[in-house]
Amino acid sequence: MNNQAETGSCADNHEPGLLTMDDARTRIVSSIEAISDQEEVGLWGALDRVLAEDILSPIDVPPYTNSAMDGYALNSHGVEQGATLQVIGTAWAGKPFARRVEKGECARIMTGAVIPDGADAVVMQELVQREADTICLQRSVRAAENVRPAGEDLTAGSLALAKGQRIRPAELGLLASIGVAEVVVTRRPRVTIFCTGDELRAVGQPLAKGDIYDSNRYTLYSMLQRLGVEIIDFGVIPDQPEALEKAFRDAMKSSDAVITTGGVSVGDADYVTGMLEKLGQIDFWKIAIKPGRPLAFGRLGESRFFGLPGNPVSVMVTFYQFVQPALRRMMGENLPPRVLLQIPTATALRKRPGRAEFQRGILETGEDGTLIVRSTGHQGSGILRSMSEANCFIILTEESSGVEAGELVSVEPFQGLV
Ligand code: AMP
Ligand code: MG
């Protein structure tokens, strides 16, 4: 399908000054420097902070060779199926068995207990027949069977976590497992947010004709909260140059980043871009993406400025595609490579060439067990429900003129497991 040919012209195509999505992201992210201030935090306060130092393990993990099973610890050498061994005691997790296990002997052992001296293997309790203080082996035992060697996970002195690593649940657990109680992390960026628009009312207030509720501050606030930054919320600022100028000046005093929504287009009440030009520097503001084309990026004194569009879906798309990687870099985080899946689309997807599109999709397992993606339906940039229903972006390239059902499309899942 080629919509451009069908319609004869396409306003989106070849618009001068439009930056491609990849260029824009590279330019934004590479112009951001990591915050150099550091602080020490305890483990309980370390979730979603970014390590400012390499962490070397001070100990072996596990610290001692131990059993992976509940069973019997024995010396495997020369022990055959049918052998009978004397049970001489019990090794508990946290309560090692003090005696040496000699030939013809074994010790009852629980998962996680230290392997007693003299033993080199553990036989699962399901594979022996026990009678009083003896066991009979139902099969032969290999050396090191069901034994977790000391240092199997990490050896003392080796790199446990690298500088730039975000601390997620797995990293928190890993730090605890090596006994590290405090870590040095990058200071959290201070991010000031405000929404612009005379039509915006706070939740709880009545709506007059022409009003809408301000939803962007909630999406923006919560996306930032998940990222782990410090948020300063200026609320809603009316479409008045004086009010906007005051908000800009206050915000730039103490923020690492300032993020606004609305007012970046070319309407008569769109003052954000002009204010950025007046009080700071604008880098560029037109990106060939949909939704989210009008995006202002620049500097405001010492802070970075992101002027996001007003439409609720555009806010989320531009946040995830541009602001989030920029702020993660500001936090000193090593950005993991982006994961894009190639998945067949269940339905045809309409699109005009010119701008890359972030359509909202639902990635699911089809009846044959393979992944398939379908559209959430109408793709208007004001339809926030599409973001709620979606679990992925379907990314269509600038050149694409739509795809037929069954064709492969690029899919970016919203979230992983951690
Ligand atoms: P603007 O970019 O200011 O022209 O806004 C584009 C569209 O987004 C308009 O329909 C606005 O009413 C809507 N909009 C702007 N800000 C918000 C907000 N904070 N919450 C919900 N919708 C908004
Ligand atoms: Mg507006």
Judged by average pLDDT, the poorest of 117-121, 285-289, 363-367 is 285-289
Co-location of 351 and 310 in the same domain: no
Q: Assign residue 112 the CATH number of its domain.
A: 2.170.190.11
Please count the other Cβ atoms lying within 10 Å of the Cβ belonging to residue 257.
22
Strand partners, 294: 286
Mean pLDDT throughout 225-242? 97
Residue 4 has pLDDT above 60, yes or no: no
Please, what's the b/e burial string for 225-246 (b: 16 or more CB within 10 A of its CB; e: otherwise)? eebbbebeebebbebeeeebee
The model's confidence at residue 280, banded by pLDDT at 50, 70 and 90, is very high
Up-side HSE of residue 45: CA atoms within 13 Å toward CB? 11
Task: Report the residue among 234, 261, 295 best suited for mutation to probe ligand 1: largest number of ligand atoms under 8 A from its CB.
Answer: 261
Q: Which of 194, 198, 200, 221 to mutate to test the pocket of ligand 1 (most atoms within 8 A of CB)?
A: 200
- The whole-number average pLDDT for the span 273-288 is 90
Same domain, 173 and 302: no
Say which CATH number the domain at 164 has.
Answer: 3.90.105.10
For residue 3, pLDDT beyond 50: no
The tokens describing 213, both together, are 């509720």
- Whether residue 210 lies inside any domain: the answer is yes
pLDDT digits (tens, 9 = 90+) for 62-97: 999 999 999 999 999 999 999 999 999 999 999 999
Does the pLDDT of residue 1 top 70, yes or no? no
pLDDT at 17 over 90: no
Task: Determine the average pLDDT of the residues in 210-238.
Answer: 97
Q: What is the DSSP letter of 125?
A: G
Ligand 1: nearest atom to the Cα of 265: 2
Q: What's the pTM?
A: 0.90
What is the distance in A from the centroid of ligand 1 to the CA of 311?
5
Quote the strand ranges of 75-204, DSSP E: 84-91, 105-109, 121-124, 128-131, 134-137, 147-148, 159-161, 182-186, 190-196, 200-201
Ligand 1 is surrounded, with C-beta below 6 A, by: 195, 197, 199-200, 212, 214-217, 261-263, 265, 267, 309-312
Please measure the distance between the N-terminal and C-terminal CA atoms of the chain and give it in whole angstroms. Answer: 39
Q: What is the mean pLDDT of the chain?
A: 94
Question: Do 321 and 197 share a structural domain?
Answer: yes
For range 252-258, the mean pLDDT:
96
Q: Separation of 236 CA from ligand 1 center, angstroms?
A: 11
Kindly state the greatest CA–CA separation across the chain.
92
User: Could you list the residue range(s) of the whole structural domain that residue 170 is in?
Assistant: 44-61+154-186
Q: Based on the fold, state whether residues 168 and 202 are members of the same structural domain.
A: no
**Closest listed residue to residue 52, CA positions, set 178, 158, 188, 153:** 188
Does position 410 have pLDDT exceeding 80, yes or no? yes
Ligand positioned closest to the Cα atom of 216:
1
Distance (angstroms) between ligand 1 centre and the Cα of 100 equals 75
Q: Do 45 and 313 contact (CB within 8 A), yes or no?
A: no
Residue 215 CA: nearest ligand 1 atom is 20
CB 183 within 8 A of CB 46: yes
